[in-house]
Chain A
Amino acid sequence: MSKRRVVPVVAWVVALVILATACKSAKTGAPAATPTGGTFTVESQEPGSLDPPLASGSEDLRVVHELFDGLILYDDKTAAVTPGVATSWAPNADNTKFTFHLRSGTKFSNGEDVTAESFVRGMTRSLTPKFYNDPNGLGYHLDGVLGAAAVSKGVTTTLTGAVAKDKTTLEVDLSAPDAEFVVRTGHMPFLPIPSDAAMAAQKPSWSENPIGNGPFKMKEAWVHQQSITLVPNPTYYGTKPKVDQVVYKIFPDQDTSYLQWQAGNLDWTRIPPAKIPEGKAQNPGNYIIQDVGGINYLSTRYTLAPTSNKLFDQAISLSFDRQAISNAVFSGLNTPAAGIVPPLIPGSQSKGTSGPCKYCTYDPARAKALFKQFTDGGGTVKEPFPMYFNAGAGHDAWMQAIANQIQTTLGFKVQAIAATAQFTGAESYSKFIGKDAPASANRFGWSLDYPTPDNFLYPLFSTGSADNKSQYSNPAFDALIKQARAEPDATKRVKIYQQAEDIVLEDLPIIPVWWRTQIRLAKLNKWGGLGMDPYEDPAVRTVYLKAASS
């Protein structure tokens, strides 16, 4: 009996060992990775749209950026403007007309020629009411083009301001001077679009399977909630990508993708905030930390007491320790901001933690002195002073910390309040985002659309702008922005934007907190030429498989 039992057990063990070794030898027997080619796998979430005029989300942008080349491109490292399809461009004397000279003979991935007409088509399409009135529509970036309003209101389908003079010459007329217009033209709503017939021919549809003129093209239609696969575009005019394909794997959340990274199945991924210390410790040399083009700030109402008094705003700004809170909540990842235009943006006055803001350090004594000046002048604070933030986005800990520190330093009650987007009532998101916002300091963030100081100053602080949440209005500031936009000389223009930034930093309608800093796990031991671009995405145009990686 006992003998009989032993035999099957031995047989099982032998079988398992054979199976195990068989699997192993099958693995080592596979051809070793070649020094070029390879599949670069990127963690992603479901994009909103791959159609350029609607590609407003971060997941949308990163794919469309590789599928299309605009008139200009932004450098992966410095965010500087470099030639794209346009090799040169020139404004007229007062920056109201721009002439672009295009490369001849460049093609879409379906073989169709990319001409000035393709760009006119793209711009006009972005302005049509269908796209312009979409909540994710990016057509508003074209508002400055002559005749844009007529197209966006549906009056006409001809954009008078954009004219294809011939195949390689594009002229754009603006309704007001804008010296930085060229910088905008790398953005989504300016991208070239192939003919209607080519769009209609796409299976299953254009928006599932767009045709671009960029270094990559769609290998297959977007597999919703699973993956998007790009392969090099053989008709591309520029440097061909070195990888065989780029796969954006779509995950429901960052915990799932982090597991996949641990299993070795991803080359690039975000980390759930709570796992940042662990992710760094377990992947030495295989992560990238970088400041990107964005700022997190507290917006204070400029039109209501007490935040209308700059002494109060300055006192608040000086009364909390940005670095200590970053260390405690983000393991030091976020860099304290002492300006509005992020260091990455050409023309920024900030570098690391130093910058033009005179009230962005931690100085309790000065904060108390300024607050005393405020109360001596008759200023009062209704307690508790509210600080709103959007719930469920990881802002709880640091907003609470800032509220506590202001309360400790200045001696009045401060309350951090989580507001939800979905519900109405006292804690509603619209309550602090809208026109009826109370006198409070509220969390907001702003990331670049295009790398220029104007993109951080005009939308946030010019009188009447929809994104001017503090309802700031300063004629001196508005005049400087207008002056800068009309200034043809780049160096002088930057100086004017810096003056405008200084004005804002004295009034403090917003209180700078941190520059947007990002961390990504990236297999730097396996891939060369890999960096994080200004849009927080992997530089897949240059990435290559390192030789002799095991």
Chain B
Amino acid sequence: MTRYIVRRLLQMVLVFFGATFLLFAALYLLPGDPTQALGSDRTLAPATVQAIRARYHLDDPVYVQYATYIKDIARGDLGTSIQLRRPVSQIMRDSIPWSVKLALSATAVEIILGIGSGVISAIKRYSFLDTLSTVSTSVLIAIPVFWLGLMLQILFGLKFRGTFLGLPISGVTDGWKSYVLPSITLASAVTAVTARLTRTTMLEVMRQDYVRTASAKGLSRRAVVFKHALRNALIPVVTNIGLDFGTLIGGAILTETVYAWPGVGRQVYFAIIAHDNPVIIGSTIVFVFAFMVVNLIVDISYAVLDPRIRYV
């Protein structure tokens, strides 16, 4: 087990270098000069342009810039945002907690709605509820996230305003209520997958001999479904949800922008618009890390959930 984890950690280092270098090269192969964007309509004095170019190492070749960058990352320095004029590490420190909180609450939505509707579909196969859940999750997958976000804002923020269904439209200043719409929006796409996966694996497990045995020995339906079937059916579902968590942290760009959520996704959006390379690279590193760590945890958790799996 320890050897396995060490090997995985070493692989992570390789993935990290690969990802950052690709990103670095891609961004710097794009032609353009960020110093121009800074001046807007005012012409910058040559001395100013020179000072900026020197400060951000813009006159060095790409590989020297990359080496400098890796050296700085090792010291915990992700550079300074050109647009926001703050250290990227500080920006990330501020925004990561918000992204993680949103991803957690979206995962909660995913678990409750996804697994719930999956189980109901499976035990009431071909019933009205089954069809309803299949159709509604299909629709949910088809709806673009930003559009769903806007519609929910109009419905719960404007139409139901003042009623008990009214919810805050954006920002994070209204406590738990702030989480409701963004979490549902962010969870919409992954929930459908979870629901289907739960349904299929439940149906499979329900056909197993040991389930029939459990029913035959006179256990209640509830005990059969929840204690015997669901527990086994959940193994692939939990894996899937774990991997989704990585997606939710990194994939919240649209949701966070629509809801003015101060997370990493929103930083990426603005950084791309402003050509703010330090922030783009910094956030991507965060995403890469989130993915790698979540992946590792999921892989390790296999062994914990299913004693038959052994890593060597």
Are A424 and B31 neighbours in the complex by a CB distance under 8 Å?
A: yes
The residue in chain A whose Cβ has the minimal distance to the Cβ of B156 is A263
Given contacts A429-B36, A446-B41, 6 further A-B pairs with CB under 8 A are A27-B162, A48-B83, A252-B260, A256-B259, A259-B153, A445-B41
Which of A16, A48, A422 sits near B85, CB closer than 8 Å? A48
The residue in chain B whose Cβ has the minimal distance to the Cβ of A16 is B164
**Known A226-B173, A249-B171; contact A263-B161, beta-carbon cutoff 8 A:** yes
- Encoded as 1 (CB less than 8 Å from any A CB) or 0, chain B from 247 to 263 comes to 00000000001111010
A430 at the interface (CB under 8 A from B): yes
Are A226 and B85 neighbours in the complex by a CB distance under 8 Å?
A: no
**Considering the chains assembled together, what is the distance between the CA atoms of A48 and B85 in angstroms?**
7
Are A424 and B38 neighbours in the complex by a CB distance under 8 Å?
A: no
**Nearest CB of B to A480, in Å:** 24
Are B48 and A263 neighbours in the complex by a CB distance under 8 Å?
A: no
**Considering the chains assembled together, what is the distance between the CA atoms of A423 and B32 in angstroms?**
4
B269 at the interface (CB under 8 A from A): yes
A397 at the interface (CB under 8 A from B): no
**Nearest CB of A to B119, in Å:** 21
Are B258 and A430 neighbours in the complex by a CB distance under 8 Å?
A: no
A264 at the interface (CB under 8 A from B): yes
Residue of A49, A224, A251 ringed by the most chain B CB atoms within 10 A: A224
In the complex, chain B residues whose CB is within 8 Å of the CB of A250: 260
**Known A23-B163, A49-B85, A263-B157; contact A256-B170, beta-carbon cutoff 8 A:** yes
**Nearest CB of B to A466, in Å:** 4
In the complex, chain B residues whose CB is within 8 Å of the CB of A265: 169
Are A466 and B32 neighbours in the complex by a CB distance under 8 Å?
A: no
- Encoded as 1 (CB less than 8 Å from any A CB) or 0, chain B from 86 to 105 comes to 10000100110000000000
In the complex, chain A residues whose CB is within 8 Å of the CB of B33: 422, 424, 430
Task: Tell me the residues in window 59-85 of chain B with beta carbons closer than 8 Å to chain A beta carbons.
Answer: 83-85
**Known A224-B91, A225-B266, A262-B158; contact A134-B48, beta-carbon cutoff 8 A:** yes
B148 at the interface (CB under 8 A from A): no
Are B86 and A20 neighbours in the complex by a CB distance under 8 Å?
A: no
Task: Tell me the residues in window 420-441 of chain A with beta carbons closer than 8 Å to chain B beta carbons.
Answer: 421-425, 429-430, 433-434
B47 at the interface (CB under 8 A from A): yes
Task: Tell me the residues in window 242-295 of chain B with beta carbons closer than 8 Å to chain A beta carbons.
Answer: 257-260, 262, 266, 269-270, 275
B42 at the interface (CB under 8 A from A): yes
Are A19 and B164 neighbours in the complex by a CB distance under 8 Å?
A: yes
**Nearest CB of A to B306, in Å:** 40
**Known A224-B86, A226-B173; contact A252-B269, beta-carbon cutoff 8 A:** yes
Rank and list the top 9 A-B pairs by shortest CB-CB distance, nearest first: A422-B32, A135-B38, A466-B43, A133-B51, A421-B37, A424-B31, A23-B164, A225-B262, A256-B260
Task: Tell me the residues in window 395-450 of chain A with beta carbons closer than 8 Å to chain B beta carbons.
Answer: 421-425, 429-430, 433-434, 444-446
In the complex, chain A residues whose CB is within 8 Å of the CB of B32: 421-424
Task: Tell me the residues in window 1-49 of chain B with beta carbons closer than 8 Å to chain A beta carbons.
Answer: 30-39, 41-45, 47-48
Are A251 and B41 neighbours in the complex by a CB distance under 8 Å?
A: no
Residue of B35, B39, B163 ringed by the most chain A CB atoms within 10 A: B39
A467 at the interface (CB under 8 A from B): yes
Jot down 11 A-B pairs with beta carbons below 8 A, ordered by A: A23-B164, A48-B85, A135-B38, A135-B52, A140-B45, A224-B91, A251-B260, A256-B170, A259-B153, A422-B30, A433-B43
A137 at the interface (CB under 8 A from B): yes
A260 at the interface (CB under 8 A from B): yes
A112 at the interface (CB under 8 A from B): no
**Known A135-B38, A252-B270, A421-B37; contact A259-B169, beta-carbon cutoff 8 A:** yes
**Considering the chains assembled together, what is the distance between the CA atoms of A424 and B34 in angstroms?**
11
Are B257 and A259 neighbours in the complex by a CB distance under 8 Å?
A: no
Are A467 and B36 neighbours in the complex by a CB distance under 8 Å?
A: no
**Nearest CB of B to A5, in Å:** 15
In the complex, chain B residues whose CB is within 8 Å of the CB of A466: 42-43, 45
**Considering the chains assembled together, what is the distance between the CA atoms of A430 and B158 in angstroms?**
44
In the complex, chain B residues whose CB is within 8 Å of the CB of A27: 162
B140 at the interface (CB under 8 A from A): no
B172 at the interface (CB under 8 A from A): yes
In the complex, chain A residues whose CB is within 8 Å of the CB of B35: 135
**Considering the chains assembled together, what is the distance between the CA atoms of A224 and B84 in angstroms?**
9
Are B262 and A20 neighbours in the complex by a CB distance under 8 Å?
A: no
- Encoded as 1 (CB less than 8 Å from any B CB) or 0, chain A from 443 to 481 comes to 011100000000000000000001101000000000000
A113 at the interface (CB under 8 A from B): no
**Considering the chains assembled together, what is the distance between the CA atoms of A264 and B34 in angstroms?**
38
In the complex, chain A residues whose CB is within 8 Å of the CB of B157: 259, 262-263
A46 at the interface (CB under 8 A from B): yes
Which of A19, A135, A253, A421 sits near B48, CB closer than 8 Å? A135
- Encoded as 1 (CB less than 8 Å from any A CB) or 0, chain B from 162 to 199 comes to 11100001111100000000000000000000000000
